[in-house]
Amino acid sequence: MRPPIINQDAQQDFQAYVDGYQAEITHRYQRITRDDESHIPGIEDLEASILRGKPSTIITRYVGNHEIDLLVMGSVTRTGIPGLIICHTAERVLHQVDCSVLMLKPHGFVSPVTVEPT
Please compute the mean of the pLDDT values over residues 54-58 and round it to a whole number. Answer: 92
Length of the chain: 118
Residue 73 near residue 41 (C-beta atoms within 8 A): no
How far apart CA 6 and CA 88 sit, in angstroms, is 30
Q: What is the pLDDT of residues 79-115, one digit of tens each?
A: 555 555 567 788 889 889 999 998 888 778 777 777 8
* CATH superfamily of domain region 51-111: HUPs (3.40.50.620)
User: Which residue ranges make up each domain of the chain?
Assistant: 6-44, 51-111
Residue type, 2: R
- pTM of this prediction? 0.61
High-pLDDT (> 70) share of the chain, %: 75
Q: What is the pLDDT of residues 67-79, one digit of tens each?
A: 888 898 887 766 5
* 85-114 burial: b if 16+ Cβ within 10 Å, else e: ebbebbbbbbeebeeebeeeeeeeeeeeee
